[in-house]
Amino acid sequence: MREQAILPLQGAALHEAERQAPIRAVTVNSMKAKYDTGSLRIIGGRWRSRKLTFPAVDQLRPTANRIRETLFNWLQNGVTGSRCLDLYAGSGACGLEALSRGAGQVTFLEKNPLAAGAIRNNLAVLGESNMPVISADVLSWLAAPGTDCQFDIVFIDPPYKANLEVASCQALESSGLLRDGSLIYLESDKELPESLFPANWRLLRSKRAGAVHYVLLERGGNISGD
């Protein structure tokens, strides 16, 4: 009888433990997902090899190291002292790389407040907290930027599959933020024919890395290519 009285008690305790265990596991996993982060590495310049973190926001993906290296090889000494605009900044990889390589000013535009906050934090860590970080929709901001600053270099890296590349280029051209000779970097998950860009832009460079297509364009200049 004593043995029969004990066995149901053990079974009930075991059942209760099994019932509660999944609840604890979900809570821990949910907290972990909330605070997951990614990391990026600065490729060159004064912060070379410096690692920075950013939140694991959906569709946020820093421009890959080898692509950034190619891009800044294309830009060469044109970065020094330049005014840059990083649209769809995400982790801020392109803008931070430009600052590391001597850009005079970089304005970051990122709609997601968590990602924008991480860019501000990383700028503060690097001693560059005076750089503007704007949390706004890119197309809406370009329609009324509220600044008469003209940029030398613009980075455009919208979320893949969003089909914002052409609209962003057209909005940028109409914004008044470019001068003749401004350089525009565009990254996409598909190849875009030059005919889709503003008529006064010309293609300088293009390359593909896996599924990523990236180009460097120039506003104005000799459009005929002669």
Each residue of 59-95: pLDDT tens digit?
Answer: 677 888 999 999 999 999 999 999 999 999 999 999 9
Which pLDDT score, from 0 to 100, does residue 184 have? 98
Could you list the residue range(s) of the whole structural domain that residue 168 is in? 37-219
Average pLDDT over residues 211-218: 96
Let me know if residue 61 belongs to a domain. yes
Residue 20's contacts (CB-CB under 8 Å, 6 or more residues apart) are none
For range 135-155, the mean pLDDT: 95
- Residue 36 confidence (pLDDT): 66
Domains of the chain: total: 1
Nearest 5°: phi and psi at 197? -85, 165
Pick the range with the lowest mean pLDDT from 34-38, 128-132, 148-152, 173-177.
34-38
Q: What is the pLDDT of residues 49-58, one digit of tens each?
A: 999 988 877 6
CATH number of 165's domain: 3.40.50.150
Q: What is the mean pLDDT of residues 155-169?
A: 93
Asked whether residue 25 is assigned to any structural domain, the reply reads no
* Residue 110 located in a structural domain: yes
CA separation for the pair 55, 119 (Å, rounded): 10
Residue 32 in domain: no
State the pLDDT at residue 197.
96
State how far the Cα of 121 lies from the Cα of 106, in Å rounded to an integer. 15
